[in-house]
Structure 1
Amino acid sequence: MTSQQQQTYYDLLGVYPSASEIEIRRAYRDLSKKYHPDTTTLNTATATAKFQALNEAYATVSHPDRRSAYDLKIGYSRLFVVQAPPRFDRPPVGIPSPLEHRQNRYRSYVGPTERPLSGGEIFALFMLISTFLGCLLLAIFIGVARGEIS
């Protein structure tokens, strides 16, 4: 990098401007462990300066509004960015892996689509089934009464 080019917050974090929030968080955690003054082998002044710059970059890039303003400031536009496909060796966020599912198999439900029915939903289901059975029995009774069903 030449001296005329200024290092962006994305460069400090080691991610592309199109990086997701998760990628930014991972990069920040890795770099903060590397440059934290208590855990690094660098001298204290250098480590402190790098760690403060890293914190400033993460504070800006992790907040959606500040990130949008910063992207406009550096001339980056998200309108025509194609995101990289998700990794296929890991399940998406929020979906447990098969190992986690086996470990948590005694939980009442896994996700928002597999929740138990509420009392009102059970009552509505009971009313729906009883109405269907009542209509079916009424049709059979009317058929027998008219002599159409023997």
Structure 2
Amino acid sequence: MNSKQQTYYALLGVHPSASPIEIRRAYRELSKKYHPDTTVLNTATATVKFQALNEAYATISHPDRRSAYDRQIGYSRLYVVQIPQNFQPLKSRPDRYRSSAYLDPTDRPLSGGEIFALFMLAATFIGCFTLAIAIGIARGEL
């Protein structure tokens, strides 16, 4: 494939990150459109377009060939986050906005489940402490 030709992804009308299902759907629609037996285009043009579609689909539908093709065209599936050149960090907010319980996640009311868990924890602690005292009294150690 020379540099004048479009990529297989552009030929099929999908993005390079398209899923196999999206690629298959695009191929099926375009193959119906350009198949020499079902198109209104002249046979020579339809045959050339249909062969190009078949070549693109054969490459992109196979995982190993697709990754080799992606390397060939310079597409990477790795997401690399880079800081933009004109990045301006946010200035810190004034403390007046931090006084609200809804804006500060560390200062919020406890939910019912959290209150119940604290109650169970306290009851367990008191029960264990009471049991230890009762065992000590029964053995005569207290």
TM-score class, shorter: 0.5 to 0.7
Find the counterpart in structure 1 of residue 13 from structure 2. 14
Name the TM-score, length of structure 2 as normaliser. 0.53
Deviations 1:5-57 (A, max 9, x none): 53000010000000000000000000000000000000000000000000000
Find the counterpart in structure 2 of residue 57 from structure 1. 56
Greater Rg, structure 1 or structure 2?
A: 2
**Cα distance in 2 for residues equivalent to 1:32 and 1:6:** 19
**Cα distance in 1 for residues equivalent to 2:8 and 2:34:** 16
- Partner AA of 1:63 in structure 2: H
Ranges of 4+ aligned residues in structure 1 off by more than 6 Å: none
Find the counterpart in structure 1 of residue 27 from structure 2. 28
Find the counterpart in structure 2 of residue 108 from structure 1. none
**Cα distance in 2 for residues equivalent to 1:30 and 1:19:** 16
**Cα distance in 1 for residues equivalent to 2:61 and 2:5:** 20
Find the counterpart in structure 1 of residue 67 from structure 2. 68
**Cα distance in 1 for residues equivalent to 2:32 and 2:42:** 15
5 Å matches for 1:1-150? 5-80=4-79
- Work out the percentage of aligned pairs sharing the same amino acid: 85
State how many pairs are aligned: 78
Name the TM-score, length of structure 1 as normaliser. 0.50
**Cα distance in 2 for residues equivalent to 1:20 and 1:37:** 27
Secondary structure of the 1:76 match is coil
RMSD, aligned CA: 1.3
Find the counterpart in structure 1 of residue 86 from structure 2. none
Find the counterpart in structure 1 of residue 138 from structure 2. none
Secondary structure of the 2:67 match is helix
**Cα distance in 1 for residues equivalent to 2:70 and 2:15:** 12
Secondary structure of the 1:42 match is coil
Secondary structure of the 1:7 match is coil
**Cα distance in 1 for residues equivalent to 2:19 and 2:77:** 12
The runs of 5 or more residues in structure 2 that have no matched partner are 81-142
**Cα distance in 2 for residues equivalent to 1:49 and 1:5:** 16
